[in-house]
Amino acid sequence: MKIRRPLTDIRLNTLLLLNARPRHGYELIKDLEAFTGKRISSGQIYPLLKDLQKSGLVKIASRGRRDKKTFSMTTNGRRTVSSAISRIGGLLDSFVSSKLRKCAHCGCEVYKGGCKAVVRSKTMYFCCGNCADACRRWKA
């Protein structure tokens, strides 16, 4: 039975970067540092790359100049990244949907901003002051 490891921050970011294009280890370390804003050591990356290779998510694509190993994604690795992105997207959709408000006048959805106004002694939510004014005139 194959044990799947969870996609941790560094693991997921490594897969995302390799999904974009193949990289060698040192390049991956520098890109991860820029991407995450954290210090990344070779002691973190090379064992991770070896583990990803054993899991069938990453393969050694070629050996470039000075015998550098270039790592790239396998088909299974691309599927894993796609699945992770879908799960994260679902979580984001759920979060954002819970924060959306619908304008009482035009029906547009607003995440941030907007305004509340009292129309016929009822407090209503609007995307902007123009919609609130238009609704007040229409309901008057």
70 and 40 fall within a common domain: yes
Asked if residue 105 and residue 88 are part of one domain, the reply reads no
The answer to the question of residue 3 being in a domain is: no
Q: Which two tokens stand for residue 20?
A: 């974009």
pLDDT in tens, 64-82: 667 778 999 999 999 999 9
CA distances from 77 to 3, 12, 87 (A): 15, 11, 15
Contact yes or no for 18/71 (Cβ under 8 A) = yes
Q: What sign does the dihedral 72-48-90-107 (CA atoms) show?
A: negative
Residues 25 and 73 in one domain: yes
Q: Domain check: are 104 and 45 in the same one?
A: no
Q: What is the spatial distance between Cα 111 and Cα 103, in angstroms, rounded to a whole number?
A: 11
Indicate whether 22 and 70 sit together in one domain: yes
Mean pLDDT of the chain: 87
Domain co-membership, 22 together with 88: yes
Residue 121 belongs to what domain range?
100-139
61 and 14 both lie in a single domain: yes
Please give the share of the chain, as a percent, with pLDDT higher than 70: 89
Count the alpha carbons within 13 Å of 23 in the hemisphere toward its beta carbon: 19
Please indicate, yes or no, if residue 125 is contained in any of the structural domains: yes
68, containing H or E segment? none
User: Per residue in 104-127, pLDDT tens?
Assistant: 889 999 988 888 888 888 899 999
